Amino acid sequence: MTSYKELGLVNTTDMFKKAIDGGYAIPAYNFNNMEQLQAIIQACVETRSPVILQVSKGARDYANINLLRNMARGAVEYAKELGCEIPITLHLDHGDSFETCKECIDNGFSSVMIDGSHFPYDENVALTRKVVEYAHARNVTVEGELGVLAGIEDDVVAEKSTYTKPEEVEDFVGKTGVDSLAISIGTSHGANKFKPEQCTRNADGVLIPPPLRFDILEEIEKRLPGFPIVLHGSSSVPVEYVTKIQQYGGSLKDSVGIPEEQLRKAAKLAVCKINIDSDGRLAMTASIRETMANKPGEFDPRKYLGPARETLKEMYKKKNIDVLGSSGKA
């Protein structure tokens, strides 16, 4: 068994308290490989931002939990080498069972999410409470979820969203003891977050998604004052990356994300953790497609992964500064 403290990691307790008091959100970026992790750490060091490194089931299947854990250990040392000892959390994204959460806790994760949102309410409470009891005995923080997000990302699939019911949140938090709560107010997983018929089009034909349900967020904040709230599915799906992917042979029909100004508003309210995954995939793919198109004889992975890493870094820096407000908070 490996304690997260041995890896130089922190849990989310102090991170979230400072974020709530400061009116910003902690970036929660998913990673699957070295280049993604380097970009995240470089961006957060350069902007002096705390960060949550997220690992999904797809990442564990792709890269192996032991490799990911040791990459996170290396990230702590890498940040120091770059000149800033930023707070880093290693977090399980969308844990689907007690066994999965236990495995990650035992392997040095400092935070886990148990997603029982697809179960009946009482089953969600019981499962979440079981994870909390095991995690808290080891000083690991736990994120639970109420409400369901539509969309597809890795193995998380749901056709329809179910908004979080504000009248349930106090009971859920009280019975489970979770440290943070992921809610559903209109965000969605993946790069195609909304169907065209759910959106309007501006004068340029760009799809405009329906606004987030800030009324639900504000009601939850009234019922749980000062409690950490989390938004999943919060990629903005930048037009420049989608355009570049399509320019160089890709196909992303009707891609639409969450407007960044709405995420910034949420970060100034009760939301203190914002999950961003698809934007990283889009930025990396756009850069790689451009390099391969312009240099068709290139076969050295460093020559296309290097520019992709730089693109990712710049995107993450922009998120920290302009969207989450976490820059300078490390």
Are 142 and 130 a contacting pair, CB within 8 Å?
A: no
- The H or E element spanning position 62 is helix 57-63
Name the DSSP letter for residue 12: S
Are 316 and 322 a contacting pair, CB within 8 Å?
A: no
Coil/strand/helix, residue 34: helix
Residues in the chain: 330
Other Cβ atoms closer than 10 A to 272 = 28
Q: What CA–CA distance (Å, rounded) separates 304 from 54?
A: 24
Does residue 204 have an active-site annotation?
no
Given the residues 14, 21, 93, 115, select the one marked as catalytic.
Answer: 93
- DSSP labels, 85-121: ---EEEEEEEE-SHHHHHHHHHBT-SEEEE--TTS-H
Q: How far is residue 325 from each of residues 168, 185, 206, 261, measured CA to CA in Å?
A: 29, 20, 27, 11
- DSSP labels, 178-224: -SEEEE-SS--BSSB-S-GGGSEE-TT--EEPPPP-HHHHHHHHHHS
Enumerate the active-site residues.
93
